[in-house]
Every structure is written in structure tokens, then in C-alpha cells.
Amino acid sequence: MSQKYEFSFPVEGENFDDAGKVSVEIKRLLKGLGITSDILRRTAIATYESEVNIISYARQGNINIRVTDDNILINIQDSGPGITDIEQAMRQGYSTADDRIREMGFGAGMGLFNIKNCSDSFEILSEVNKGTLLKILINR
Amino acid sequence: MTLSEIAYLLDAKVLTGERYLDTEVKTAFSADLMSDVLAFAKPGSIMITGLTNPQIVRIASIVDNSAILIVRGKIPPDETIALAEELDIPILSTKYILFETSGRLYANGVVGCIKKIEGPESVVPL
């Protein structure tokens, strides 16, 4: 019998103290669904990086997760400034982070690259001044 | 090495997670960049860092680090310790600097959780 679970988590921009909280919760929830540790880890790393991106660059965002027997689909949508040059943003080491982000140990320009590494399929849709949507698929 | 052997070797204080001192640690990842920990640390490795904010605990929980070893004598704020207790992540603190800490562990058989980065070199635009 096939099962499907859906979760949605709001993430508040600029809330640096709570960075990572949602992803820790996501990992706990998915663990409860019996997701194996490697998949669990990749999913949580992808959501953590996305969460930090929302907090760092957007006013507000959402992490939506759909779990089926075959895969985990993560859609991350934010109402941030958008990405002007996606190819550049994907490069390791490229970052537009400010000091608050760097003090937390982020802003090294690894985020999107890291998310891609954890994904079996990864897509970015972004519009300047409107926001960004990341579609991350991880096969179980 | 076990966490208690690591604590002894580095004259480290165990700030939380006493009950996990028998945990065996074979690999480590040293970094002050949490993005790099997310990218490169492997499950079971010990995170060695100079950061003390609560994010280090959340990151350790995400990547399945066996423990966090804080260097340069820093003591984390109470909220970091409280979160570590909640998420079952042991925290040790040593006065040795990052280089000395890593070297001493390596000399005692703990190795990096990866040796070097595979693939093309990262491009950092000036």
C-alpha cells in the first residue's frame, strides 16, 4: 500500500537565533516515518542550507515536504530578492552573505552547491524582486 | 579513541553528555565554517570547532556527529548546552588551539572523515 505524507514549515527571515530549528524538526519527523539514515541526512542537510538561505536573504519562506514510498520532494519557496545569476550562485565559494551570516559559520558560498550534492534532482526557479523556488528530489 | 580518552588527552572539560563518554570516535572534521561541516562531515565523526552558538548543535544533529569538541578554551552559552542536552550531543571544551587539537588526535589514530575534496577545484571569483 502506498503512503504519502506532506508537511509544511514556515521560516521567518532574519531570525538568525533559530537557524536550523525547522530542519532539526524535519529530521525528527522523517525519522519517525522510518526513512533510512543516509536519506534522512541528505534531506536534513538540504533543508538546513535552504533554511539558512531564507533567514539570510528573505523576509519569509516555506519549506514544503512530500514523502512517498519512492522519494522525498522538497519545495522551498521564499519571497526574497531573487537570484540574478543562478550559475554564479551555484559556484562553490561564491557568496553575497553579510557579517551576521558569517558569524553563524555560514556564508561560505557552499549552500546551493551543497543542496545540489544531496539531491537526485535539483531545480532553481528565481525571479528578481519576487523570490526563489528550489525543487529538490531525493530518491528513497 | 573513546570520548573519555579524548577528554583526557586534551585536558578537556565535558560540558554535557557524560553518559556518552564510552562512544568510540574514529574520524573527525575540524572547521569554523558550518556550511563546510554540512558539506563534508561524515556520520559518527567528531566536530572540532571554535564556534559556540546553538547552530553547532543543530548541525551536529543533522550530520550525525558523535560529539562536538570546542577549541581555544571557549565555553558555549547556556542555550547551546541546553540544546545539546535536548538533542543528545556531547560537548567537550579544550584549551588547545584547533591545530594542536587536530594534531594530537591524529597522532592517536583519529583520522579526517575525508582526506581531500574530490572533483574540480572550487572557483572563487575575486
For residue range A90-125, list pLDDT tens digits in order.
888 888 898 888 888 888 888 898 999 999 999 999
Of A37, A51, A40, A43, the closest CA to residue A80 belongs to A51
CB A49 within 8 A of CB A9: no
Choose the closest CB to B62 out of A23, A92, A110: A23
Task: Enumerate residues 6+ apart whose C-beta is below 8 A from A15.
Answer: A55
Domain B3-112 is in which class? alpha beta
Q: What is the pLDDT of residues A71-85, one digit of tens each?
A: 999 999 999 999 999
Does the pLDDT at position A65 exceed 80?
Answer: yes
Phi-psi region of A20 (alpha: psi -120 to 50; beta: other; left: phi over 0): left
Q: Which helix (H) or strand (E) holds A102?
A: helix A99-103
CB A97 within 8 A of CB A107: yes
pLDDT the model gives residue B125: 43
Q: What is the pLDDT of residues B6-24, one digit of tens each?
A: 999 999 999 999 999 999 9
Task: Enumerate residues 6+ apart whose C-beta is below 8 A from A72.
Answer: A30, A35, A39, A43, A65, A66, A137, A138, A140
CB B41 within 8 A of CB B33: no
Choose the closest CB to B38 out of A48, A88, A92: A48
Top pLDDT among A62 and A2 is at A62
> What CA–CA distance (Å, rounded) separates A30 from A138?
13
> CATH code for A4-139?
3.30.565.10
Radius of gyration of chain B (CA): 14
B48 touches chain A (CB under 8 A): no
Residues of chain A contacting B, Cβ within 8 Å: 17, 19-21, 23-24, 27, 37, 41, 44-45, 48-49, 88, 91-94, 103-111, 113-114, 117
> Which pTM does this prediction carry?
0.92
Secondary structure class of B60 (helix, strand, coil): helix
What cell does A77 get?
Answer: 519557496
Domain map (residue ranges) of chain B: 3-112
Radius of gyration of chain A (CA): 14
